[in-house]
Structure 1
Amino acid sequence: MGGFVIKNHSVPGEDHLNRVRVVVFDAQPVTRIGIRAVLEQNAAQVIGEADDEQGLHDLIDEQEPDVAVVDPSLAYPIGPVSMVRSLFKRPNCPYVVVFSSIRSRELLLPFYLLGVCGYVSKDAQPQRLIQAIHDAAQGRQDWFIGTMENQRNGGAHMNRLSPRERDVLTLMSMRLTNAEIAKELTISLQTVKNHTSSVLRKLGLNNRTEVMGWISAPKK
């Protein structure tokens, strides 16, 4: 059965010219209505809503939003990280803000590594979501559990990782084996091992067990 999609085809007037154009992905109608009400009073225009992944992809193709506000924890059956990764594989991917009840650093790290611009908890004040969306529209990364770089041991070394090394670290954080990472990224097992060794060296870690500890640990 198809998902629920709302598209706003109205032509924006002069007062909408500088508004951030937003699509919303959330399985809960009340949440979508609340986001729309808050954003449209604060220089943003919600141009579409969806409650499943295909509906979100269709909206992005048709509406070309500036920002997508998503709750990936509600993505079934593919899972939250795979859902966000599917967005970043699209040539027309908008900036992404995660608006979710996920709070674990370990669970949030993959989104950060993928390049998600912002995270806002669903129990945050509305102004934080508004700020995250406007920052995202300008390409700024804003995480309202504190900046991820500043929350973990070795965060200063994150910028040393290449894009492919970030991909590997993202999948390592999901506890995929080297063979599973190779299949996911369509690269050889030896290439995965090389990237893994490079990630460990750059983060000053010795093995996967230390990687998982590094993910979970706040910066001291």
Structure 2
Amino acid sequence: MTGAEDDGERTGPVRVFLVDDHALFRAGVRAELADAGDRVEVIGEAGSVDEAVAGIGHFAPEVVLLDVHMPDGGGSEVLRRVRDRQPEVVFLALSVSDAAEDVITVIRGGARGYVTKTISGRELADAVCRVAGGDPVFSPRLAGFVLDAFSQGPDSAPIGDPELDQLTPRERDVLRLLARGYAYKEIASELFISVKTVETHVSSVLRKTQLSNRYELSRWASDRRLV
């Protein structure tokens, strides 16, 4: 059965639970999905892992829109704590990150798809309906990461990089945007953090990678397909 056929047999909208640590972003997603028609309905939301686990258990949504990076563990931790308890719930990652390791980690954790936050409201509603109907959904350039990672089978070893692994998720986000040419102020705006915090993360990344400047960091990030 295709996702479209499944949607045609529905008697109501797909029930969605939204997980993201930024309240402003959650409000924006709610508004975008509301404008996209009556195919989906946001029935609850959470800003932390603990809130997400409790909320998913209470509301029993069909689809969870899941942020990858949050201060208390992120999407992988939510998946770990919910998947066995509520195997019927479908997870669709919705993240600012388009890094291969983030995509692979949440898919291995049990998410059915992964889209980036540049997606439009109508496209997001389409993605929610498709994963609810059983289809995997990925932003265009991300599907290749998954195919590469699972080409040796679903239990093959995950991609690892000792140098990259020493960076925190937030440091990777800052590095990725820095390597794309974003100014510190633009990075701060994109990640909802202060310029001072951006500077702190950049200093930490330079120290951990033993590099000297943003140009070397850009090459380092490009070599690891972070850009």
Measured against the shorter chain, the TM-score band is: 0.5 to 0.7
Q: Indicate the residue corresponding to 2:45 in structure 1.
A: 49
Deviation at 1:88, TM superposition (A): 2.1
Q: Residues of 2 paired with 1:90 and 1:49: CA distance?
A: 19
Helix, strand or coil for the counterpart of 2:115? strand
| Residue-by-residue CA offset, 1:40-92 (whole Å, 9 max, x unaligned) | 33211111011111211111111110000011212x23344333332323234
- CA–CA distance in structure 1, aligned partners of residues 124 and 161 of structure 2: 26
3-state SS in 2 of match to 1:72:
coil
Q: What amino acid sits opposite 1:101 in the alignment?
A: V
How much has 1:151 moved relative to structure 2?
A: 4.4
Return the offset for 1:117. 1.5
- Which of 115, 118, 123 is the equivalent residue of 1:120? 115
Residue number in structure 2 paired with 1:89: 84
* Aligned pair partner of 1:33 in 12, 27, 30: 27
- Mind listing any 5+ residue stretches in structure 2 that lack a counterpart? 1-9, 163-223
Q: What is the deviation of 1:173?
A: 4.2
Structure 1 residues 117 and 174: CA distance shift in structure 2, 3 A: farther
Counterpart residue identity of residue 89, structure 2: P
2:20·2:66 contact (CA, 8 Å) conserved in 1? yes
Of residues 124, 131, 156 in structure 2, which corresponds to 1:136? 131
Structure 1 residues 173 and 115, CA gap change in structure 2 (3 angstroms): farther
What stretches of structure 1 of length at least 5 have no aligned partner?
Answer: 1-15, 176-215
The counterpart of 1:65, out of the listed 61, 65, 68, is 61
> Alpha-carbon deviations, 1:160-206, whole Å to 9, x = none?
44xxx25xx34x6486xxxxxxxxxxxxxxxxxxxxxxxxxxxxxxx
Change (3 A) 1:77 1:39: same
8 Å CA contact 1:120–1:128 kept in 2: the answer is no
Q: Amino acid of the residue matched to residue 22 of structure 1?
A: V
Task: Give yes or no for the alignment of 1:102 onto 2:97.
Answer: yes
Q: What root-mean-square deviation, in Å, do the aligned CA atoms of Structure 1 and Structure 2 show?
A: 2.8
Number of aligned positions between the proteins: 154
Counterparts of 1:54 and 1:36, CA distance in 2 = 21
Give distance in 2, aligned partners of 1:30 and 1:79. Answer: 18
**Cα separation, 2, equivalents of 1:82 and 1:69:** 14
Question: Quick one: structure 1 residues 55 and 17, their matched pair in 2 at CA, closer, same or farther if it must change by over 3 Å?
Answer: farther
TM-score (norm: length of structure 1): 0.60
CA contact (8 A) 2:49 2:77 kept: no
Distance 1:152 1:59 in 2: 29
**C-alpha distance in 2 between matches for 1:131 and 1:34:** 17
Tell me the residue number matched to 2:12. Answer: 18
